[in-house]
């Protein structure tokens, strides 16, 4: 193995969701967060992206962000750590295309089959990504066409919507009876296996602690599927949104930013690095 990476002297690791958090929920722009991104890079503080996005999507955004740190895909379906990033082999990892990969999620085909069965059993009209065309995904997400194609390349998590006025509870209960989990992001429900963002984030925290024992973790998110990993953090931020107060009740001690999306993300991260008065945040 090569020398330990630059984070070895850092006591801080930042874990962040993407959509609606670092990325604007409508435009996917992150330019408002550039000052904080630059400050993290200058201080050699790792930024670990924790998202419902696919590996293909995450690689796109990591290139755009200039990010070289591990990342979590599809609501905790897997951790992708660049080969040689940690000065040891990752327990249970497989090597794939320049990464050490720790997989937690069930195969995608199993999730799709279970969703179809549960929908038929409960007579719930659902529309999953597996049935959507790239054009439909583009219209529902406002993603550019190229990114909508990447969003269909799923491995561990199936996003879906429930049509009309159908109640979601019967379907969600049917998924649970099949031993599956579900969560809800900003736009879609998601069905997944025995994984969530918390399990992946917890594993990464332990890996970082093998390098630096005095670790301090900070998490940023905006939706219900972020709650599980935000609860693990030493400090958590919720990006301002109509649901922020309700979500805050599930994350004790979380602070709500005074602005949404990348503007709030910038505010929160700079507050960690420069310690402005706490009154700048919504209590």
6-104+196-280 topology per CATH: Rossmann fold (3.40.50)
Domain ranges of the chain: 6-104+196-280, 108-192
Instruction: Let me know if the fold of 6-104+196-280 is the same as that of 108-192.
Output: no
- Which residue numbers in the chain have pLDDT < 50? 1-10, 276-283
Residue 207, number of CB atoms within 10 A of its CB:
18
pLDDT tens track for 253-263: 999 999 999 99
- The CATH superfamily holding the domain 108-192 is Putative mannosyl-3-phosphoglycerate phosphatase; domain 2 (3.30.980.20)
The predicted pLDDT at position 278 comes to 40
The predicted pLDDT at position 275 comes to 59
CA angle 65, 21, 203 (to 5 degrees): 80
The predicted pLDDT at position 93 comes to 97
Q: Which of 17, 19, 24, 196 is catalytic?
A: 17
The predicted pLDDT at position 185 comes to 76
CB 238 within 8 A of CB 257: yes
17 is catalytic: yes
């Amino acid at each position: 193995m090569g020398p330990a990476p630059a984070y070895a002297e850092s006591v801080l690791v930042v874990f962040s969701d993407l959509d609606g958090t670092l990325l604007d929920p409508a435009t996917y722009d992150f330019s408002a967060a550039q000052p904080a991104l630059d400050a993290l890079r200058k201080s050699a503080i790792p930024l670990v992206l924790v998202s419902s996005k696919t590996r293909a999507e995450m690689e796109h955004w990591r290139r755009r962000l200039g990010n070289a740190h591990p990342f979590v895909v599809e609501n905790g379906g897997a951790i992708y750590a660049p080969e040689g990033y940690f000065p040891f082999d990752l327990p249970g990892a497989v090597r794939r295309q320049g990464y050490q990969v720790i997989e937690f999620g069930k195969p995608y085909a199993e999730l799709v089959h279970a969703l179809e069965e549960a929908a038929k059993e409960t007579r719930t009209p659902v529309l999953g990504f597996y049935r959507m065309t790239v054009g439909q995904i583009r219209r529902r997400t406002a993603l550019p066409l190229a990114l909508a194609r990447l969003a269909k390349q799923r491995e561990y998590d199936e996003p879906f919507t429930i049509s009309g006025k159908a109640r979601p509870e019967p379907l969600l209960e049917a998924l649970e009876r099949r031993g599956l989990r579900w969560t809800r992001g900003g736009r879609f429900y998601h069905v997944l296996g025995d994984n969530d963002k918390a399990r992946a984030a917890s594993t990464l925290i332990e890996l970082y602690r093998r390098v630096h024992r005095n670790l301090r973790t900070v998490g940023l998110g905006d939706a219900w599927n972020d709650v599980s990993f935000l609860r693990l953090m030493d400090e958590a931020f919720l990006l301002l949104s109509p649901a922020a107060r309700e979500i805050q009740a599930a994350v004790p001690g979380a602070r709500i930013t005074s602005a949404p999306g990348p503007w709030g993300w910038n505010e929160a991260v700079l507050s960690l690095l420069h310690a402005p008065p706490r009154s700048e945040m919504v209590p």
